[in-house]
Amino acid sequence: MYRLVRGILFRLEPERAHALASAFLRWLGRIPSLAARLRRRFHRNDPRLEVRFAGLVFPSPVGVAAGFDKGEGLAAGLFALGFGFVEVGTITPRPQPGNPRPRLFRLPRKRALINRMGFNNAGAEAAARRYARMRFRPGPLGFNLGKNKDTPQEEAQRDYLRAFETLADLGDYFVVNVSSPNTPGLRALQEPEALRRILVPLRERAGNKPLLLKLAPDLADESIDELADLALELGLDGLVLANTTITRRGAEDEPLAQEAGGMSGAPLLERAVELVERVYRRTQGRLPIVGVGGIFSADDAYRMIRAGATLVQAYTGFVYQGPAFARSIESGLLTRLDRDGHASVMEAVGAAVRTSAA
């Protein structure tokens, strides 16, 4: 059925198709009884899928990555489709329209997207109002935080603090996004001292709220090592690996590959898994990891988990695969856990790394 619907949606301009899907999810989320009924259909309620991460309990390791719901109130509808958690954002303290259209492009042959959205969102206060009304929330809700485009680099920490403070009572965890390629100069904030200026006051202000850092896949391996060490030093609760890529590796022959922006989807999987495994080895599993990038199947998710990811996220895979995405991944994970003799997802985290080190 979704293949037919997708064929219709994919005839529309990408943002128009997203707007239609968003309208449906908003409507669905406003009817908790219907959302709960659908969730029973789309979610595998199995204790083997339960994950404990940063003091939170996730009914499933399969979540929605930031970017799908930009503070529009879609999370309840996404939970109805079976996801274990939803990350909202990126949210900036003040509203901003983002970059001019067109700014979202499909590469169907490569199962990829290119976007240069530019943190388009209605701002932290609007997001807080919407999520204060959320009535269906069967899993953790995260907020991905960014700075406004016109905020000077030297004042970036102010934006992250302000966005956090506005949403602090509504989020179960928070992610610092300094890795989007679509805000000029943002990735320069991945330099350790710049990051320290943002993270130290934010870590202090966050208290017991889990705080994570999202990094770009285009960083050199040595920089990833340095930032993993910094995350441990500052007491962060985890890393999200990884954001979209400015490379076009795996999609060089696509006509739309010349469009500026970050690429997500299947071509990113190899690098994302590589980064997850590297950080897991580097930190000896002491720094929890959310693996994101190119997950389309249970095999992809399981590979990410065995490389060291406690949780996994998808955006592009969900767009291409449709409403049954979460259940398909969850069912496939259970099959693979049984096959390999793992009692739970938690037991499988990092299994490939531990086996190779033995």
* DSSP per-residue codes, 285-301: T-S-EEEESS--SHHHH
Residues 6+ apart with CB under 8 A from 263: 107, 112, 113, 114, 244, 245, 246, 247, 248, 251, 257
Query: Around 124, how many Cα atoms within 13 Å sit in the side-chain half-sphere?
Result: 23
Burial of 202 (0-12, 13-18, 19+ CB in 10 A): buried
> In terms of DSSP bridges, do strands 238-241 and 211-215 run parallel, antiparallel, or are they unpaired?
parallel
User: Tokens at residue 119, please?
Assistant: 């943190």
Q: Are 159 and 197 in contact (CB under 8 A)?
A: no
Q: Are 326 and 42 in contact (CB under 8 A)?
A: yes
What residue type is assigned to position 355 of the chain?
Answer: T
Residue identified by tokens 């406690």 is: 310
Q: Which residues are catalytic?
A: 180
| Backbone Cα Rg of the chain | 19
Query: What are phi and psi for residue 289, nearest 5 degrees?
Result: -130, 135
* Beta carbons of 113 and 263 less than 8 angstroms apart: yes
CA 66, distance to chain mean position in Å, is 4
Q: Which residue has the tokens 């907020």?
A: 143
Q: Which of 178, 180, 183 is nearest to 195 (CA)?
A: 178
Instruction: Give the single-character DSSP code of 309.
Output: -
CB atoms closer than 10 angstroms to residue 335? 12
